Chains A and B, each alone.
Chain A
Amino acid sequence: DGGITQSPKYLFRKEGQNVTLSCEQNLNHDAMYWYRQDPGQGLRLIYYSQIVNDFQKGDIAEGYSVSREKKESFPLTVTSAQKNPTAFYLCATLWADTQYFGPGTRLTVL
């Protein structure tokens, strides 16, 4: 079954802790993206990667880090430097000029 998986669906962390969100895809798509969505707001781009071992900052990269060691995987780390980490995080891939999204991870920092 092809697709994009994000785990876990819900994640709780204490303030000051780093946390890594998983994004895996078996669609063989080159480009991958991380977005953040806050209640009542649209999507904001955090990081994107067009190929393995390459990634670029999006509009709100501060307090986040990523890696792209494999084509299938694009994990996002939310660091303690991120001031308001509680949000819904979405991973996406790009194919034929269309973005496809994963199911999302809802992160709550207590």
Chain B
Amino acid sequence: DAKTTQPPSMDCAEGRAANLPCNHSTISGNEYVYWYRQIHSQGPQYIIHGLKNNETNEMASLIITEDRKSSTLILPHATLRDTAVYYCIVRVSRSGGYQKVTFGTGTKLQVIP
């Protein structure tokens, strides 16, 4: 699975959009970009994933560059409850097969009142 690079920390004002970047320059054609977040002392929460098209769900939007070497997770209106560590991971989809999630160090997002 390709390696990802994320900034260690970011601040965002409450109510504003939080844009979390992720670089994955070695991504290969069959690898998906996944985003999870982990609030302190809780289990990781799945947010969104995509292959090459931009994706949106009730939690966030995922923008993947055309060359797929980087992506941005957008939380449109950040709240204090969005304060967490955000993990970007890249991995091959192995339908029906063994899967392992490997988290890097992630980005610690602090939403400020």
Contacts and interface: CB of A to CB of B under 8 A. Distances in A.
A94 interface: yes
A104 B101 contact: no
A97 B93 contact: yes
Contacts of A45: 100
B49 A98 contact: yes
Given A42-B105, A43-B103, A56-B98, A100 B46 contact: yes
Query: Is chain A's binding surface mostly helix, strand, loop or mixed?
Result: strand
Query: Is chain B's binding surface mostly helix, strand, loop or mixed?
Result: loop
B99 A97 contact: yes
Nearest to A98: B46
A58 interface: yes
A61 B46 CA distance: 25
B71 to A, nearest CB: 16
B102 interface: yes
Interface string B86-111: 00000001110011111111000000
Given A42-B104, A42-B105, A101 B45 contact: yes
B84 to A, nearest CB: 13
Contacts of B41: 88, 104, 106
Interface in A56-110: 56, 58, 88, 90, 92, 94, 97-104, 106
B43 A101 contact: yes
B99 A94 contact: yes
| Among all A-B residue pairs, the 4 with the closest Cβ atoms | A101-B43, A42-B103, A97-B93, A104-B43
Interface of A: 4, 6, 31, 33, 35, 40, 42-43, 45, 48, 50, 56, 58, 88, 90, 92, 94, 97-104, 106
Interface of B: 32, 34, 36, 41-46, 49, 93-95, 98-105
18 contacts: A33-B99, A33-B100, A42-B102, A43-B44, A48-B100, A58-B100, A88-B41, A90-B44, A97-B93, A97-B94, A97-B99, A98-B46, A98-B49, A99-B99, A101-B36, A101-B45, A104-B41, A104-B43
